[in-house]
Amino acid sequence: MKVVHLVAGELSGGAARGAYWLHQALLNLEVESSIITTAKNTLGDKSVISLTDSVLAKLKLAALYKIGRMLLRVYRDRRPLIFSTGIDGLDFTRHPTYLSADVVHLHWVSGLVSTRVLRKIKKPVVWTLRDMWPFTGGCHHSLECDRYTKSCGSCPQLRSTRERDLTRFILRHKQASLPENIRIVGISRWMSDCASKSAVFRECQVTTISNNIDTRLFSPLPKKLAKQALGLDEDQKIVLVGARNVASVYKGFDLFLEAVGGMTKENIRVVLFGNAEEGVLDALGVPTTNLGFLSDAIALRLAYSAADVFVVPSRVDAFGKTLVEAMSCGTPVVCFNATGPKDIVEHRLNGYLAEPFSPVDLAHGIQWVLDQPSETYAEMCRSARMRAELCFDSQVIAKEYLALYHDALRSAET
Q: Is 139 helix (H, G, I), strand (E, B) or coil?
A: strand
Distance of alpha carbon 286 from alpha carbon 232, whole angstroms: 14
Distance of alpha carbon 254 from alpha carbon 270, whole angstroms: 14
- CATH topology of 2-212+394-413 equal to that of 223-392? yes
Alpha carbon of residue 391 to chain centroid: 17
Distance of alpha carbon 273 from alpha carbon 300, whole angstroms: 9
Please give the CATH number for the structural domain made up of 223-392. Answer: 3.40.50.2000
Q: Would you mind telling me the total number of residues written for the chain in this entry?
A: 414
Helices H / strands E in the chain, number of each: 13, 13
Distance of alpha carbon 176 from alpha carbon 179, whole angstroms: 9
**CATH 1.20.58 at 2-212+394-413, yes or no:** no
| Residue among 314, 189, 184 nearest 244 (CA) | 314
pLDDT in tens, 22-61: 999 999 999 999 999 999 999 999 999 999 988 888 898 8
Q: What is the domain partition of the chain in residue ranges? A: 2-212+394-413, 223-392
Rg (C-alpha) for the chain, rounded Å, is: 22
What is the residue-level pLDDT of the chain in tens, covering all 414 positions? 999 999 999 988 777 889 999 999 999 999 999 999 999 999 999 999 999 988 888 898 889 889 988 999 999 999 999 999 999 999 999 999 999 999 999 999 999 999 999 999 999 999 999 999 999 999 999 999 999 999 999 999 999 999 999 999 999 999 999 998 999 999 999 999 999 999 999 999 999 999 999 999 999 999 999 999 999 999 999 999 998 777 788 899 999 999 998 887 789 999 999 877 777 777 788 899 999 988 889 999 999 999 999 999 999 999 999 999 999 999 999 999 999 999 999 999 999 999 999 999 999 999 999 999 999 999 999 999 999 999 999 999 999 999 999 999 998 887
Are 346 and 383 contacting, i.e. CB atoms less than 8 angstroms apart?
yes
